[in-house]
Every structure is written in C-alpha cells, then in structure tokens.
Amino acid sequence: MAEVETKRKKSFYKENVPLLMQGNEACALGALAAGCRFFAGYPITPSTEIAEILSRLLPRVGGKFIQMEDEIASIAAIIGASIAGAKAMTSTSGPGYSLMQENLGYAYMAEVPCVIVNVMRGGPSTGLPTKVAQGDVMQSKWGTHGDYFPIVIVPSSVKECFDYTVKAFSLSEEYRIPVTVLSDEVLGHMREIVKLPSQEELNIVTVPKPYEPPEWYKHFEITPDFRSPMASFGEGYRFHLTGLTHDEYGFPTASKTEIVRKLEKLRLKTMRHLDELTDVRVEMMDDAHIMIFAYGSTARAARQAIRMARKRRFKVGLIQPRIIWPFPDQIVREYLERVDLVIVPELNQGQIIREVKRLRYRHVKIIGLNRFDGELITPQQILDKLKEERH
C-alpha cells in the first residue's frame, strides 16, 4: 500500500477553485487527501454518502473499500487494515456508533490509529434518522468501558469537515489513537461553496516507523513523549497485539507495575499534549461579558447570534471548540473568569454544559439552551435567551 501512496499523488478534486459540496462529500475528500486508503462501512442514514463516494474513488487511487455485514465488523476491519499498514476510516451514525464501541475500546487499548466519522442524528435507539442532534458528545467520550482518553473533533462547516477530517487522520497517526469526527445530519447534507487546499498545503502526519531491528522492537514502547513508533504487519517485526492489558511488547501481563504503566500511558499520551490538542475558535471575546459556548452546527447559529446581539449592544462573544475531547479546560477557564453569563446552546438536553459547569468560576451564571426536536437552534432563539437573561 505504501508504495502506491507515494507513486500516485494525484488530486481527487479541483484545487483552490470554488466548489459546491456537501459536508459528507467534504469528509470523504478530506479522508482521501489525508491518505486514507481503506474504508469499511455499513449503510446508515445520514452518513451513507461518505461510503458511496469512497466506494467510487478509493479503487482509483489503489485503495480498498468494503461494505461489511454490520458496524461491528466495519470498525474491526478498519482496525485490521490499520494494523496491516493502511490509513483507514469508517463512517456511521448513532446506532452504528453504539455498535462500534467495543472495538473502539480495542483500538484505544491496542493503540491503533483510525478515524470514525459519526454523523450524529436524533437518538436514543433508532430515534430520528433524518433529523439533527448532538446527543453523542458524551458517548464519544465515555462510550466504551474502561478508562481512556479519546480525541474527538466537532467541525461546524463544510470546509471544516474537510480540514478536520485531514486533521483527524494526522492526530490519529501522531497519537496512535482512534479519532472520532462528530459531524451531524445538517452538516453532512448541507451544501456550501468551499475552496479546498492542494495536497501540498495540507499538513499530513504519518506515524513514524521504528528504526530499531526487529529483535529490539517494542510495539508499545513507552517513550518520553508517550507516542511510540509503529510497525505494520508484514514488515518483519512480527509483534503481538491484544486487547488484554499488555506490556511494552504487547504480551498480556498481570504485573501490577506493567498494568499501571500501560494505563498511564493511555492517559498521558493525550493529556500531556493538551496544548497541541486544543483547537478553539474565539470570537469577539476581548470585551465580552457574555460567553456563548457552542460547537458543531450550533456554533453557526451562535456566530450569527453574537453579530445580532452586538448590534443591540450586548457584549457577547463565542467560544467554539473544534476539538471537544480532551476538553479545552484552560481556555474556557480563562474566559470564565472574565464573564458573568455563559449560554451553552446544544441539540440535546444538556451534555457539554456539565463540562463548562465543572469549570465554573465564582458567580458566573451558566445556562443551557437546549433543543431536541430534530431542528437546529436558530440565532433568534439564542438572542431571545440572551435578552431574557439580561432583563
């Protein structure tokens, strides 16, 4: 696969010209641009377009597409492909994401890079297949059992769908961790005009290969920065991978120190690099007394709302995290000290607001604006909420 990648670096889209495309399409193109050469998936509304596009484009660049028998198999296949050396991705939505959780845990434990795009829809269960929601935010953090520290990205526009899928691949390779991209139904099906960067402009990271001879190689080596190089199957390293708690070689272990070392590594490899894993868009916060904390497609309404509010002399700004897990504690805490009101609009009954409340500073009032009827929060709603609080 590697040789194919280097040989043909052609583009799959017209670079730097305005294109009209869907969020899902942008996700698929972003994946290809990032070097994704394996996709396994199962049809589910509203993410199916990603699979359809990739089934058409992947063989053209020497990549592989497979439609598996269910989502459990889909994520298993991409983990397998990633271990065999391909950059791999799957896309799904609510119910499928739930099915994937066990193997997602495997990928965290076995430190396998891969990307999962979850185009969120209304839940729980089958819920609202064609309507938008943001109900999977906490699931993406706590979905599988055990103690782990995921990286989750929430784009808010078609352009961001592209950019942050590329970024998801880079982060997953850099940290050897599965990365979830939480898109949503509106974002996935919304069409916007975007200009996509050329391949050269993209910052693509690939997990480093080990340089030591196979006898010395430890697949889970604990390095000073907790990111270890990774060999693939068939390259002469012949390592063992397991979901059991393992030592640095990958062999199951029952030794207390080894267990602690392993689990600490899982934490430290993301938590030690919080500065790199903070990606927050801050808008008009310099003089703000009111902060709106919004993410995903809700952030679009919030952006509009702060413009409307500023016209009415409200000092209001926006904090929009693009990487939502690990939570950008530091930035949020910083701004919480300066404001006295925080509004957290979400398309659920209050999930990320808990994280903001966790960082509450003295008198700051933190209120949620929740909508879960399958429609977007409108700028007017945010404005109304703001007025209501200020009168």
Which residues are near another protein by CB under 8 A? 1, 8, 37-38, 40, 59-60, 62, 64, 66, 68-70, 72-74, 76-86, 88, 102-103, 106, 232-244, 249, 251-252
Q: ∠ at Cα 308 (305, 311), nearest 5°? A: 145
Question: How far apart (Å, rounded) are the C-alpha atoms in residues 123 and 321?
Answer: 23
Instruction: Please identify, using beta-carbon distances, which residue of 28 and 120 lies nearer to another protein.
Output: 28
Give the DSSP letter of residue 198. Answer: P
Q: Amino acid identity, residue 331?
A: I
- Reference 254, options 244, 242, 239, 268; nearest CA is 244
CA angle 1, 88, 273 (to 5 degrees): 115
Q: Shortest Cβ distance from residue 23 to another protein (Å)?
A: 26
CB 333 within 8 A of CB 309: no
At closest approach, how far in Å is the CB of 84 from another protein? 4
Whole-number Å distance between alpha carbons of 234 and 39: 20
Q: Which is nearer to another protein, 88 or 377 (CB)?
A: 88
Min separation Cβ 249 and another protein, Å: 6
Going from the C-alpha of 138 to that of each of 66, 102, 141, 182, 322, the distances in angstroms are: 29, 16, 5, 11, 15
Q: How far is the CB of 38 from another protein (least distance, A)?
A: 5
First to last CA, the chain: 62
Number of neighbours of residue 275 by Cβ within 10 angstroms: 7
Q: How far is the CB of 73 from another protein (least distance, A)?
A: 4
CB neighbours of residue 371 within 10 Å = 20
Q: Smaller CB distance to another protein: residue 240 or 289?
A: 240
Give the C-alpha separation, 94 to 77, whole Å.
Answer: 19
Segment holding 298, helix H or strand E: helix 297-311
* Residue 97 and residue 143 in contact, taking contact as beta carbons nearer than 8 Å: yes
Least separation, in Å, of the C-beta of 103 and another protein? 6
Of 106 and 293, which CB lies nearer to another protein in the complex structure?
106
Query: What is the nearest approach in angstroms of another protein to the Cβ of residue 242?
Result: 4
Q: Which is nearer to another protein, 124 or 234 (CB)?
A: 234
Q: Which amino acid is at 387?
A: K
Beta bridge partners of 41: 67
- Nearest residue (CB) to another protein, 172 versus 351: 172
Closest approach of Cβ 199 to another protein, in Å? 17
Give the nearer residue to another protein in terms of CB position, either 99 or 319. 99
Minimum distance from CB of 268 to another protein (Å)?
Answer: 25
Q: Which is nearer to another protein, 142 or 249 (CB)?
A: 249
How far CA 42 is from CA of 15, 73, 99, 189, in Å, comes to 30, 9, 11, 18
Would you say 127 or 229 has its CB closer to another protein?
229
